[in-house]
Amino acid sequence: MIRVGLGEGADLDGFRAAVRGLVARRAPPAEVSWCPAGQADLFGEGERGEESAAPVGLPRALSELIRLVVCHSDCERYALLYAAIWRVLNGERALLDIQSDPLVHRLEAMAKSVRRDLHKMHAFVRFRETRDPDGTERFVSWFEPQHFIVEASAGFFVERFRSLVWSILTPVGSLHWDCTALTIGPAAQRGDAPESDAFEDAWRCYYENVFNPARLNPKVMRQHMPEKYWRNLPEAASIAGLVQQAPKRAREMIAREAAEREKRDPLKAVAAMAGQGPQTLEELNRLIAASEPLTPGANRAVLGEGPMEPAVAFIGEQPGDQEEREGRPFIGPAGQLFDKALGEAGIDRSSVYVTNAVKHFKYEPRGKKRLHKRPNPGEVKRYRWWLQRELSFVRPKLVVAMGGTALLGLTGKPPSVLKTRGPIAFDGQPGYATVHPSYLLRLPDDAAQQEAYAAFREDLIAVRRLMGGSS
Amino acid sequence: MDEKLTTKLRILSDAAKYDASCASSGAPKRAAGLDGIGSTSNGICHAYTPDGRCVSLLKILLTNYCLFDCAYCINRRSSNVERARFTVEEVVSLTLNFYKRNYIEGLFLSSGIIRNPDHTMEQLVLAAKTLRREHGFAGYIHLKTIPEANPWLIEQAGLFADRLSINIELPSADSLARFAPEKKAASITGAMSQMKERIDEAKEDRRKFSPAGQSTQVIVGADATTDAALLNTSAVLYKDYALRRVYHSAFSPIPSPSAVLPMKAPPLQRENRLYQADWLLRFYGFTADEVASASRDGMLALDIDPKAAWALQNRERFPLDVNTADREMLLRVPGLGVRSVNKIVAARRHTRLRLADIGRLARSVKRLLPFLITADYRPTRISDRANLRPNLADAPVQGSLF
């Protein structure tokens, strides 16, 4: 008989070392006896595993099972695990798939119990705030787990409360986090934790009031929150009273007659409710400026510019780098080209309204530069509400969409610029579609650029004619 | 915490409890940076109240003042309930202080309609934004969407919330007009479509917009809608709006009742059967019509669960051989859950399953006996058995109160 000694609690490292040694010696489970610390039998402590033996390759599912089951409080845990390892290594590679096997069934039940205990610890730890002698704010909890899960539970608390200083004290060990490192400490006592916390009354108040007495069902509560946890849960002190009072409270609610409202109905307020939302362009612009960008990374919204009730409003795609810096639309290279074409077409820029379908600059950082990135259809749709409301305030006689994004913003439908060049109706209002001036800048050769520019200018001349030649 | 704030908490948590949802799952895995706080989980219930309901989130209203007059709601403007109003800062501070003590997974914030829907929605978004931006809060946030608010506010809400939801409350436009005069079915479905579109786009673009999806709640027993009609509504909602969950909530008496809806004990058993039926739709491959086919006058049986009721109507399909039957059919066996079926399918690749094996794979073998064939067991033909129904009846879930 080989006797293996292991450390206290969940000794995963000790077990791993032992298994390596035993597998190397081809020791069958029947010839091994396992002695966790504190359970030494008549023959004293067993031998420790050899660190030097080679690692044993196990299916991932079995490693996961081992990690959980070593935390179980059952002193047979190591023997059961080794029996499963032995079978897996000796022809039953798929053993864990067969959960009807009595050994697998038992191990799975143990793993489930550990998993549940971990879950309950994550749920039922209650921190109380206290101050260390040096003035540090510390959150301390006393918790009594069923299995050896203190270390296994730590990752969850570290991740969640990384910026707090905290301690979790239990009868089998303690955890201490100082915002940078985790320390595993010795067993503690209930008296080591603070007795109260300034927010516990509020928490109990909350707990009592989210309970609906007409739905009393203490059985289900006990299933999920077994009584053994109650003594460390501040809210549990309210349970008895809530259960006792519930039938009476429910009966009273049912017996109660409908009453007339004691206070006057807020009829004026109800009537006023209808007139919600921005009432002027200024209000809308304030709202857009205060909103979170719906394309990531933008610094500020670039709003429309120009007179109200103009003969024409030009809708572009989105502000560029320079537009965003200065907070004005159409002032970058494309804007300058637009101005030039406007002039040549005989339209005065100060007499028209210009704005963009998307109000924020979408870009891709490339070193120090921010490269323009075309907004995708979803993004354009997210900005439609604002564009529609904006035009309803501006009330232009003619709306000109420059490029596909503007068309999508105005119609909500995916456009093809080539098919929709020329006069078009937006929601029954007169409109006109053309290319975006930045398209001209992107054309590779001069000839194509000049040809496209001429066509763009022709479009603007057509727009001027539609405006009635007023400019 | 000071007394005035505790009073507000009392009123505004009481006012929020009629919303059944407390889910905190489905959010992307996330943890706060060094100066923030919080993380997401697969859903942790930090406490259970004596009604058996889970407390996962700080579920409160920003205010229970309300300009709407929905008959079923404790907070309707004609109710005599005590009123209160949190500031956004109070909500933020309460959330953080509860979270630091490990009481909650996050915040579920809703509100009565004050001033107007836009203003109310702006306040809800502001609370979420403040938690995320100013406090680096990485816990779970569920915001109630006010469908009457302007659509750009939904665009904002989705940037900060893990889940958005709109409660349909009443399953028909007719009931809505009668009991919730300020609400319109069209604004509700419009806002749900907008949210669905954004959630879908965000997934494609790998952005964050309400990553845990949207859900809704329907009240059961306030109007005459049948179970079959409710399940049909659910099926449509799952299909058209890709809802994560349709909650059915038994209409509960409220302390300040309305004259149009007489108070009675909530139909909890009916709610439970609808809950089971909802699972059949979502995880067991049943259609709403199949579930309804086993109902009477459109109402689910109360003595047995809807899966057992379906099996009794379709006895000729049983018994099934556990060693050969399709997974889809095994899911239809009363008493076999998704997990048990998965275990059976995995195990039978390597071994011939016997009755004792099934005993280890399923929760209770007694219920299964009439429906299964194993390597060493074959039941009498169930079409010949008259006493099947009482054997399938489960003990009433809810102890009777009255």
Q: How confident is the model at residue B399 (pLDDT cuts 50, 70, 90)?
A: very low
Cβ–Cβ gap A203/B101 under 8 Å:
yes
Q: Give chain A positions within 8 Å (CB) of B100.
A: 127, 129, 139, 161, 164
Q: How confident is the model at residue A311 (pLDDT cuts 50, 70, 90)?
A: very high
Cβ–Cβ gap A215/B266 under 8 Å:
yes
Interface list for A 153-182 with B (CB within 8 A): 156, 159-164
pLDDT (average), residues A265-274: 83
For the record, the structure tokens of A6 come out as 């292991």
Backbone angles phi, psi at B39, to 5 degrees: -155, 170
Q: How confident is the model at residue A96 (pLDDT cuts 50, 70, 90)?
A: very high
Give helix then strand counts, H and E, for chain A.
16, 14
Task: Name the residue of chain B whose CA is nearest to A252's CA.
Answer: B255
For the record, the structure tokens of B92 come out as 């933020």
pLDDT (average), residues A76-103: 96
| CB proximity B18 to A under 8 Å | yes
pLDDT at B385: 67
| CB proximity B265 to A under 8 Å | yes
Q: Percentage of chain A surpassing pLDDT 90?
A: 82
pLDDT at B393: 80
pLDDT at A41: 55
Cβ–Cβ gap A273/B59 under 8 Å:
no
Cβ–Cβ gap A98/B207 under 8 Å:
no
Interval B361-379: pLDDT, tens: 998 898 899 999 999 999 8
Between CA B18 and CA A87 the distance in angstroms is 53
**In whole numbers, what is the pLDDT of chain A averaged over residues?**
92
Cβ–Cβ gap B253/A254 under 8 Å:
yes
Between CA B308 and CA B286 the distance in angstroms is 13
pLDDT at B389: 82
Task: Name the residue of chain B whose CA is nearest to A264's CA.
Answer: B78
| Closest to B277 (Cα-Cα) out of B250, B249, B244, B310 | B310
Cβ–Cβ gap A265/B77 under 8 Å:
yes
Sign for the pseudo-dihedral over CA of A376, A377, A378, A382? positive
Cβ–Cβ gap A292/B118 under 8 Å:
no
Between CA A389 and CA A373 the distance in angstroms is 25
Sign for the pseudo-dihedral over CA of A344, A346, A350, A353? negative
pLDDT at A35: 83
| CB proximity A143 to B under 8 Å | no
Task: Name the residue of chain A whose CA is nearest to B3's CA.
Answer: A202
Cβ–Cβ gap B94/A202 under 8 Å:
yes
Q: How confident is the model at residue A417 (pLDDT cuts 50, 70, 90)?
A: low
Q: Assess whether pLDDT exceeds 70 at residue B395.
A: no
Q: Assess whether pLDDT exceeds 80 at residue B307.
A: yes
| CB proximity B398 to A under 8 Å | yes
Q: Give chain B positions within 8 Å (CB) of A376.
A: 205
Q: Assess whether pLDDT exceeds 90 at residue A204.
A: yes
Q: How confident is the model at residue A85 (pLDDT cuts 50, 70, 90)?
A: very high
Closest Cα in chain A, distance from residue B216 (Å):
19
Residue pair B133/B85 in contact (Cβ under 8 Å)? The answer is no
Q: Give chain B positions within 8 Å (CB) of A219.
A: 52, 399
Interval A146-156: pLDDT, tens: 999 999 999 99
Cβ–Cβ gap A251/B402 under 8 Å:
yes
pLDDT (average), residues A252-267: 82
pLDDT at B386: 67
pLDDT at B143: 97
Q: How confident is the model at residue B382 (pLDDT cuts 50, 70, 90)?
A: low
Q: Assess whether pLDDT exceeds 80 at residue A470.
A: no
Q: How confident is the model at residue B397 (pLDDT cuts 50, 70, 90)?
A: very low
Cβ–Cβ gap A273/B117 under 8 Å:
yes
pLDDT at A267: 83
pLDDT at A427: 87
Residue pair B366/B334 in contact (Cβ under 8 Å)? The answer is no
Interval B87-136: pLDDT, tens: 999 999 999 999 999 999 999 999 999 999 999 999 999 999 999 999 99
Interface list for A 86-105 with B (CB within 8 A): 94, 97-100, 102, 105
In one-letter notation, the amino acid at residue B227 is D
Closest Cα in chain B, distance from residue A298 (Å):
14
pLDDT (average), residues A367-373: 90
Interface list for B 106-165 with A (CB within 8 A): 113, 115-119, 129, 149-152, 155-156, 159-160
In order of their start, the domains of chain A are 2-119 (no CATH), 125-192 (no CATH), 200-251 (no CATH), 281-466 (3.40.470.10)
Between CA B74 and CA B14 the distance in angstroms is 10
> Which of A88, A96, A99 is most worth mutating to test chain B (most B CB atoms within 10 A of its CB)?
A99
Closest Cα in chain A, distance from residue B42 (Å):
10
Q: How confident is the model at residue B401 (pLDDT cuts 50, 70, 90)?
A: very low
Cβ–Cβ gap A266/B38 under 8 Å:
no
Residue pair A149/A121 in contact (Cβ under 8 Å)? The answer is yes
Q: Give chain B positions within 8 Å (CB) of A272.
A: 115-116
> Which of B1, B103, B109 is most worth mutating to test chain A (most A CB atoms within 10 A of its CB)?
B103
Interface list for B 222-261 with A (CB within 8 A): 250, 252-259
One-letter-per-residue 3-state SS of A65-98: HHHHHCCCCCCCHHHHHHHHHHHHHCCCCCHHHC
Q: Give chain B positions within 8 Å (CB) of A198.
A: 1
> Which of A92, A93, A95, A100 is most worth mutating to test chain B (most B CB atoms within 10 A of its CB)?
A100
pLDDT (average), residues A407-412: 92
| CB proximity B351 to A under 8 Å | yes
Between CA A9 and CA A118 the distance in angstroms is 15
How many contacts, defined by CB atoms under 8 Å, are there between A and B?
Answer: 260
Cβ–Cβ gap A257/B39 under 8 Å:
no
Cβ–Cβ gap A385/B155 under 8 Å:
yes
| CB proximity A126 to B under 8 Å | yes
Q: How confident is the model at residue A269 (pLDDT cuts 50, 70, 90)?
A: confident
Q: Assess whether pLDDT exceeds 70 at residue B216.
A: yes
Cβ-nearest to B152 among A163, A235, A385: A385
pLDDT at B402: 39
Q: How confident is the model at residue A330 (pLDDT cuts 50, 70, 90)?
A: very high
Task: Name the residue of chain A whose CA is nearest to B11's CA.
Answer: A209
| Closest to A119 (Cα-Cα) out of A96, A146, A79 | A146
Q: Assess whether pLDDT exceeds 80 at residue A235.
A: yes
Q: Give chain B positions within 8 Å (CB) of A201.
A: 1, 6
Residue pair B128/B139 in contact (Cβ under 8 Å)? The answer is no
Task: Name the residue of chain A whose CA is nearest to B209's CA.
Answer: A294
pLDDT at B116: 93
DSSP code at position B145 = -
Cβ–Cβ gap B31/A233 under 8 Å:
no
Q: Which of A147-151, A310-314, A419-423 has the lowest mean pLDDT?
A: A419-423
Q: How confident is the model at residue A349 (pLDDT cuts 50, 70, 90)?
A: very high
Query: In what helix (H) or strand (E) does residue A353 lie, and over which residues does it extend?
Result: strand A353-356
Q: Is residue B371 helix, strand or coil? A: helix
Between CA A232 and CA A463 the distance in angstroms is 76
pLDDT (average), residues B193-198: 94
Q: Count the helix, strand and coil residues of chain B and give each as a percent rounded to the nearest 5.
A: 40, 10, 45
pLDDT at A469: 52
Interface list for B 70-89 with A (CB within 8 A): 77-80
Q: How confident is the model at residue B396 (pLDDT cuts 50, 70, 90)?
A: very low
Interval A167-185: pLDDT, tens: 999 999 999 999 999 999 9
